[in-house]
């Protein structure tokens, strides 16, 4: 297990290095995409390796000449990486999102790396209109055409179904780990769980599935792990991975992360696609319905309340409080956060907001807040429930 996890940690720590190396090793093409809802299965079905482009840890330098500082850390970082040539290994970039900041970054990147094809196939942000399914399917067909033309390949329905199965297996294996962690049968630090998912976004799916199988087979029937620590739920970060140091700090304050709705977390693996029948319709349906599995504040879905969903998710996980990780300048999160705060206050569920930035945070400053939050949550939740210690 340790060796498999280490491989994932390595890929997660340096995704461009991994993808560049994979391209050399496999001889396959590599196509980048942006968060949050892009169906990478389509790239995979073309015989290429899809990679979700990641925020990196490097300070933004030349990227300042492309984006204002009042854009989120993710978008500033990917523009910076593009300007520095870090994406030179990519054969193309394909995306279909809706967030104004991602679209803006993509337009700047298109200009900065004119030799790469940057294709945009917008998925309708309004999920429940009568035409949402039809329009999503049209966008997907255009995406398939675009990939075929760009990569010089043909994508069959069987190719798509095979890729859907590979991705489904990946999601199911990770969800299995989530289930074990939720029930206290698996010790995984939040930063380790994040690395598993982040590596899934950048690694070859067959390779990642093999590593996941190795991990799950090594687990066996583990008994519930006893120990103390405040079980907490993490929410937010819709595009970028949280800095591992932040996650480790949170757990070093006496908490155990038992569940989350992070993009580099449960949100990414929340739902499978239908592997039978028309694959285009299956992908479109997945896109339109995954909001039921993990609501996204960037989509329009009048019947879904992220705040109410979160409250239920926190209760179901056994967490005794929620920590919200909000990326600075993330407007979808800014819009929704007041509703989340009010809902949690009304229901007397402790929660803490941590605003994060690309530039390193004052970690000790945040630690004080988390420690206070832990004290408050413990007093409110007496008699205290038990949960396992974080993995050392």
Partner 1 sequence: MNVAVSSQQIKRANRLEATKLNNRMVTDYWEDLFRAKDEGRFVCWYEGVAINPILQAAGVAWCHGEAMSALLAARKEEGPAQQAAEEWGYDRELCSYARTHIGCGVLTQRSTPDTVNDLPKDSEVRKGLASRVPAPDMIISAYPFCSTGQQWDDMLYRQFGKRVPIFNISLPWIWGNKPSAKYMSGPEYREAVAFLVKQLRECIAFIESVTGKAFDHDRLREIMGYIRHAAEIKVEAMRLCKARPSPASFFEWTNSIAPVNFLPGGPEIVNYFEIKKAEIQDRINKGIGSAPTEKYRLFWDGIMNWNKIGWLADKFAGYDACIVAGRYTHMGFWHETEVIDLSDPLDGMAQNYLTCPISISAPQVVEKILEHCEYYELDGLILHGARTCRAFSYPQFLIAEAVGKKLGMPVAMFEGDMVDESFYKDELVNSRVEAMLEAIEARRTRLM
Q: Where along the sequence are the contacts to partner 1 (CB under 8 A)?
A: 65-68, 70-71, 98-101, 103-105, 107-108, 110-111, 119-122, 124-126, 129-131, 135, 138, 142, 146, 297-298, 300, 302, 305, 328-329, 331-332, 334-339, 341-342
Q: What values do phi and psi take at 193, rounded to 5?
A: -60, -40
- In this structure, the number of other CB atoms found within 10 A of the CB of residue 355 comes to 17
* Minimum distance from residue 141 beta carbon to partner 1 (Å): 11
Task: Please identify, using beta-carbon distances, which residue of 107 and 157 lies nearer to partner 1.
Answer: 107
CB-wise, 224 or 359, nearer to partner 1? Answer: 359
In a 13 Å sphere around the CA of 189, the CA atoms on its Cβ side amount to 19
Q: Least distance (Å) from partner 1 to the CB of residue 380? A: 22
By residue count, the chain amounts to 392
Cβ atoms of 30 and 19 within 8 Å: the answer is: yes
**Under 8 Å CB-to-CB from 191, ≥6 apart: which residues?**
244, 247, 248
| CA end-to-end span of the chain | 15
Collapse the DSSP code of 133 into the 3-class scheme (helix H, G, I; strand E, B; otherwise coil) and give the result.
helix
Please say which residue, 150 or 270, places its beta carbon nearer to partner 1.
150
State the nearest-atom distance from the C-beta of 17 to partner 1, in Å: 28
Question: What is the closest distance, in whole angstroms, from the C-beta atom of residue 279 to partner 1 in the complex?
Answer: 22
Q: What is the largest CA-CA distance in the chain?
A: 63
Q: How far apart are CA 375 and CA 381, in angstroms?
A: 10
> How far lies 341's CA from each of 246, 338, 390, in Å?
21, 5, 27
In the complex with partner 1, the residue whose CB is nearer, 78 or 202, is 78
Nearer to partner 1, 7 or 81 (CB): 81
Nearer to partner 1, 3 or 131 (CB): 131
Instruction: Tell me how far CA of residue 26 lies from CA of 18, 22, 307, in angstroms.
Output: 12, 6, 44
- Report how far apart, in Å, the C-alpha atoms of 274 and of each of 3, 246, 285 are: 32, 36, 9
Shortest CB 90 distance to partner 1, Å: 17
How many CA atoms, within 13 angstroms, populate the side-chain half-sphere of residue 73? Answer: 23
Q: Which two tokens stand for residue 123?
A: 């998925």
Residue 41: both structure tokens together: 């299965």
CB of 335 to partner 1, least distance (A): 5
Looking at beta carbons only, is 36 or 197 nearer to partner 1? 36
Nearer to partner 1, 111 or 385 (CB): 111
Q: Which is nearer to partner 1, 71 or 89 (CB)?
A: 71
Q: Where are the beta strands (DSSP E) in the chain?
A: 30-33, 49-52, 92-95, 117-120, 230-236, 255-260, 322-327, 351-356
Residue 116 Cβ, how far from partner 1 at the closest point, in Å? 13
CB of 99 to partner 1, least distance (A): 5
Closest CB 101 distance from partner 1, rounded Å = 6
């Amino acid at each position: 297990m340790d060796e498999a996890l280490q491989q994932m940690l390595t890929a997660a720590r340096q995704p461009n290095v991994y993808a560049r190396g994979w391209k050399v090793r496999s001889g396959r093409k590599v196509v980048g995409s942006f968060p949050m809802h892009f169906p990478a299965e389509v790239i995979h079905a073309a015989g290429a390796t899809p990679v979700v482009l990641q925020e990196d840890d490097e300070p933004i330098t030349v990227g300042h000449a492309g984006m204002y500082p009042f854009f989120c850390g993710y978008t500033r970082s990917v523009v910076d990486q593009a300007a520095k040539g870090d994406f030179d290994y990519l054969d193309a970039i394909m995306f279909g999102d809706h967030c104004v900041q991602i679209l803006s970054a993509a337009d700047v990147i298109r200009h900065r790396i004119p030799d790469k094809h940057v294709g945009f196939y917008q998925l309708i942000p309004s999920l429940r209109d009568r035409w949402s399914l039809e329009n999503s399917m049209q966008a997907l067909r255009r995406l398939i055409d675009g990939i075929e033309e760009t990569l010089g390949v043909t994508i069959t329905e069987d190719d798509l179904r095979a890729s859907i199965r590979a991705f489904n297996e990946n999601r199911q294996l990770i969800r299995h780990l989530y289930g074990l962690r939720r029930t206290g049968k698996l010790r995984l630090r939040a930063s380790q769980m994040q690395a598993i998912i982040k590596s899934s976004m950048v690694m070859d799916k067959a390779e990642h599935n093999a590593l996941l199988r190795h991990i799950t087979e090594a687990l066996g029937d583990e008994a519930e792990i006893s120990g103390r620590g405040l079980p907490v739920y993490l929410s937010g970060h819709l595009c970028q991975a949280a800095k591992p140091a932040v996650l480790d700090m949170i757990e070093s304050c006496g908490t155990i992360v038992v569940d989350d709705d992070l993009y580099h977390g449960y949100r990414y693996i929340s739902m499978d696609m239908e592997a039978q029948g028309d694959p285009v319709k299956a992908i479109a349906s997945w896109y339109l319905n995954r909001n039921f599995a993990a609501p996204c504040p960037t989509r329009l879905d009048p019947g879904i309340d992220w705040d109410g969903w979160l409250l239920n998710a926190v209760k179901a996980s056994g967490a005794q409080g929620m920590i919200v990780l909000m990326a600075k300048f993330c407007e979808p999160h800014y819009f929704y956060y007041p509703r989340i705060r009010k809902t949690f206050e009304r229901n007397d569920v402790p929660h803490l907001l941590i605003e994060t930035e690309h530039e390193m945070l004052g970690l000790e400053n945040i630690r004080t807040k988390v420690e206070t939050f832990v004290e408050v949550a413990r007093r409110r939740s007496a008699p205290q429930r038990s949960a396992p210690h974080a993995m050392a």
